[in-house]
Amino acid sequence: MNPKSESVEASRGSEASSSSINSTPDIVEDQLTSGNIMKRAAAKQLIEKYFYQLLDGCGNVNCDNRYCASSGAARNLSPNEAAAEAIKLFYKEARLCSSVTPNKVSRTDSNSYEPSPSSTLGPNHKNTSENKENQNITTPEPSTASRGEPHTSHTAQQQKQKKRKRYNSKDYQNVVLDGAPLTEERIYKLCDECLQNRAEEPLSKALSKAFSRPSILARCFASKISENANETSKDTEKESKESSRSCDPDKDIDSVAAPQLDVASCRRAFQYLAKVPTEYYSTDLVIALKSLGSYLSKDLKSEKLSIEDAVNCFVITFELPNLGCSDYFEIALPDVCLAIGELPIKGQARLARIWSQYCKDSLRNILETLQQLISLRVVSCNYHVFFHVQEDGHVTGPTRVLKVLYYASILAGVLDSNTLHEEPIVIAHQHDPLESVLGHLYPPSSMKGARNSQLNDPLAVELGVSVLDSRTPYLPFEDFYNEPLSDVIEMDKDCEDYEMVISRPNTRFSFLRHPFVLTVASKSLGLYYENRLRMYSESRAALLQAAVGAARPEPFLRLRVRRSHLIEDALVVLEMISMERALDLKKQLVVEFEGEQGVDEGGVSKEFFQLIVEEIFNPDYGMFTHQQDSRNVWFNPTSFETEAQFTLIGIVLGLAIYNNVILAVNFPMVVYRKLLGRKGSFEDLVDWNPILYNGLKDMLEYTGDDLEEVYYQTFRICYQDVFGTNMFHELKVNGDNIFVTQENKKEFVDLYADFLLNVSVETQFRAFRRGFLMVTDESPLGAFFRPEEVEMLVCGSKVFDFHELEKSTEYDGGYASDSKIVQDFWGIVHSLPLEDKRKLLQFTTGSDRVPVGGLCNLNFVIARNGPDCDRLPTAHTCFNVLLLPEYDTRDKLQDRLLKAINYSKGFGLH
């Protein structure tokens, strides 16, 4: 008999009671049906053979049967687990070693030795005498020959017992514990021995063996049973029998037999382990972890390992101390991360739930470790045309783990109690008669609309949670950004991979399917490429229609407007387009001002949007109101404008995003949440009307019994229209007679917020959102960006750091960063007030807003425009170029520059 078999025999001797063995026929009685090809008695005997094969093995040191304990490939099972597993092997008709013979001889010789109390034999361990007394163990039979069993089995049993007697208590611990699962008590003992006696080998060996195989690691730190062992045992046995009667015995037995992980015990044990110098065990542990990653990947692919066991392995591994050491980075951690990528969606969801519920204190450490792993890899690796970052498993593996951690952080944080969603709006695109002819060359519009259903993250769907549900995540969303990674990603390549993943999942890796790790600037660039692909698709369709003899359509969305009638002209053209062929809204926008020469390369469009926003959001226009406290604009619930007008305003906002133009719009955050599909709730009042929010919050926090007298508030509210007239609304039927009390104050607050943010502007906002979706319905806007990021996409950054602009500015025409006029220019700019700085941006770029990512992403150029003269500076807003004459003095430069930026609107811009 090999040592492995002896170890298994010794460690399970006291557990293999007759109750466990005899429970196998009881389960079989419920499992077997009349349709089995064997007789009932023969089936019982066969399952008993599987039972002993799993526990004791066949005794062949060269056994290669993975279902035999002698082979070393079988999992270490308790008797109850072996009984359940034996039933599954019976149904699978698994391989059975010929030398295995079932017998009911007790495999524990109580007179030979007594196991040490410190030995870890599992939560169900009791001494032999206690087992005999409580469980009525059958008296060992002197021989199996009387039962017709081969005599060789009895001889092997005697040899096994004799050999076992040669081990003393210490030897027993060394043999048994080497392959036994880790427990908190065992870690304490091994660490103390290592620190006191400088004996690092037992600790290193125990960690190495536990972490080298998933079958061992999955059963480490198993949760302890209730102190009332008898009742728990009976309940568990009853549950096992009831579960085994279902139509899917394998699934039910797995769910009952799967060990439950005690995460708190694991964390305490590893905190104690951190006291031991890492050089005592790190080398062996790193090698074991690398082996673990390989085994996990292989076993998950072949479905040899259950999801529960795999998740337990990952939870334990990421609780290890010093996980951020360089050895883990270079050798072990990448393989473990790749193995998590092999988990099915249900397994990833299970891991996210465990992390969110039991491992909150570890989330920060895991995040920093993974971010460091990605950053070091990205910085040290030279990516090129034949090796992109999307193909680097050392980056994509940790990124997949970050997704699980991302949703765990959402689940562990504060979730929105509001589950109300905006009603879906279906945009029906007009049927193109040429689609039947050209459908093989470009996708028909009817197919494009189905794209949205493929943008949802499968893990989010499985967890039943989304980013919109999160009010405050456990870890800030910004901490998931990885700037080094965002800088090296070629977004045009990633967009191709993204489209491939959408149509054929699991074929490629795309970081745009993991947008939480990308900065807003990177995702903005990804959205830009996505939108450009759609623009080119529409332009190509126009050319194809012309090629088959149809009337040549316009490849661009062309708007020709008059400055004096800007709103009227723009809305009339957009209304005609939206009615005749809404797909034209997805073409690239080109704006022309009547009576003005110039080609729109982006600068004219910027000015158009700037001017139209100023007029539309003017309070005199009557479509929007201004909140005095927050300086935000809001929909006028008593507006006289038609729904079509609000639809066209939504189109304008969508066109701005679609054409990568930043607008000076001051919407509260709730607008962007509503645009992405979530209705407003009480928490959204915080930036919509801070004074009202604080007043209602004080009401919710008031605990006195006299709330009714103190606030004297009924379910009838008062608000003002755009003209300042007081308007009244009853939140409930007969609301003026219902006072707010401690019992109904939460209902009052929710109804109040719902009325202000949803009910009162339902007509206006629905029309506005419809226009917005007419442009962006096929865009992955909601998949890439959170509401806060959409606001930045629309309005730009709020940080005006002109020192960043100075560092990133390029020079042309003979200027350099050390030229005197350049230094004078920046000295003047830094001394300007914020309002003049905005005017400078307006003059040079066509917009007074900071682009996403900051002024360093502006691609600003200062070019020499001749020698000293009296001319004012000019600008090419399409290319962000400032044409600056080389003035002789600083005062002259300042005078000409201020005049240019203050009197430039509609003049000097190209």
Domain containing residue 889: CATH number? 3.30.2410.10
664: left (phi over 0), alpha (psi -120 to 50) or beta: beta
Q: Which strands make up the sheet holding 874-876, listed edge to edge?
A: 810-812, 861-864, 881-884, 874-876
Co-location of 14 and 163 in the same domain: yes
Q: Which of 159, 179, 199 represents a domain boundary (last residue)? A: 179
Co-location of 893 and 847 in the same domain: yes
| CA dihedral over 781, 783, 784, 790, signed as positive or negative | positive
Do residues 851 and 804 make contact, with C-beta atoms less than 8 angstroms apart? Answer: no
Write the CA distances from 782 to 126, 295, 454, 472, 710, integer angstroms: 58, 38, 12, 19, 44
Co-location of 860 and 737 in the same domain: no
Co-location of 26 and 148 in the same domain: yes
Q: What is the pLDDT of residue 165?
A: 36
In a domain, 628, yes or no: yes
Q: Which of 354, 358, 338, 460 is nearest to 403 (CA)?
A: 460
Can you give the residue range of the structural domain that contains 783? 422-429+439-456+607-795
In a domain, 498, yes or no: no
Cβ-based neighbours of 257, under 8 Å, separated by 6 or more: 80, 81, 84, 85, 240
* Dihedral Cα 850, 852, 854, 860, nearest 10 deg: -70
User: Residue 538 carries which side chain, given as an amino acid letter?
Assistant: E
Q: What is the pLDDT of residue 362?
A: 93
Neighbours of 724 (CB within 10 A): 6
Co-location of 667 and 766 in the same domain: yes
For the chain, the domain total comes to: 3
In a domain, 485, yes or no: no
CA distance 443 to 441: 7
In a domain, 638, yes or no: yes
User: Residue 360 carries which side chain, given as an amino acid letter?
Assistant: K
Q: What is the pLDDT of residue 75?
A: 67
Tokens of 232: 């728990």
Co-location of 139 and 66 in the same domain: yes
In a domain, 376, yes or no: no
Write the CA distances from 108 to 112, 127, 181, 555, integer angstroms: 9, 10, 21, 86
Q: What is the pLDDT of residue 21?
A: 37
In a domain, 589, yes or no: no
Write the CA distances from 605 to 158, 478, 732, 878, integer angstroms: 93, 32, 48, 9
Q: Residue 171 burial by CB count (10 A; 0-12/13-18/19+): exposed, middle or buried?
A: exposed
In a domain, 414, yes or no: no
Cβ-based neighbours of 378, under 8 Å, separated by 6 or more: 389, 395, 482, 484, 485, 488
Do residues 598 and 910 make contact, with C-beta atoms less than 8 angstroms apart? Answer: yes
Q: Which of 603, 605, 359, 590 is nearest to 474 (CA)?
A: 359
Q: What is the CATH number of the domain that holds 717?
A: 3.90.1750.10
Tokens of 246: 């279902």
Q: Which of 663, 675, 666 is nearest to 625 (CA)?
A: 666
Q: Residue 746 burial by CB count (10 A; 0-12/13-18/19+): exposed, middle or buried?
A: middle
Q: Which residues of the chain have pLDDT under 50?
A: 1-39, 103-178, 225-259, 431-450, 906-910
Q: Which of 774, 427, 426 is nearest to 574 (CA)?
A: 774
Q: Note if 878 is an active site residue.
A: yes
H or E, element range at 26: helix 18-31
Tokens of 428: 């029906």
Co-location of 781 and 685 in the same domain: yes
| CA dihedral over 29, 32, 35, 36, signed as positive or negative | negative
CA distance 891 to 813: 22
Query: What SS3 state is found at 238?
Result: helix
Co-location of 758 and 822 in the same domain: no
The DSSP line for 604-641 is HHHHHHHHHHHHHT-GGGSSEEE-TTT--EEE-TT--S
Q: Rounded to the nearest 10 degrees, what angle do helices 3-12 and 151-165 cross at?
A: 80
pTM, entire model: 0.72
Do residues 865 and 893 make contact, with C-beta atoms less than 8 angstroms apart? Answer: no
Q: What is the pLDDT of residue 99?
A: 60
Co-location of 723 and 620 in the same domain: yes
Do residues 128 and 14 make contact, with C-beta atoms less than 8 angstroms apart? Answer: yes
CA distance 592 to 527: 25
Co-location of 839 and 777 in the same domain: no
Q: Which of 770, 795, 820 represents a domain boundary (last residue)? A: 795
In a domain, 519, yes or no: no
Co-location of 642 and 764 in the same domain: yes
Q: Which of 731, 761, 795 represents a domain boundary (last residue)? A: 795
Query: Any bridge partners for residue 213, and if so which?
Result: none
Q: What is the pLDDT of residue 795?
A: 86
Co-location of 79 and 151 in the same domain: yes
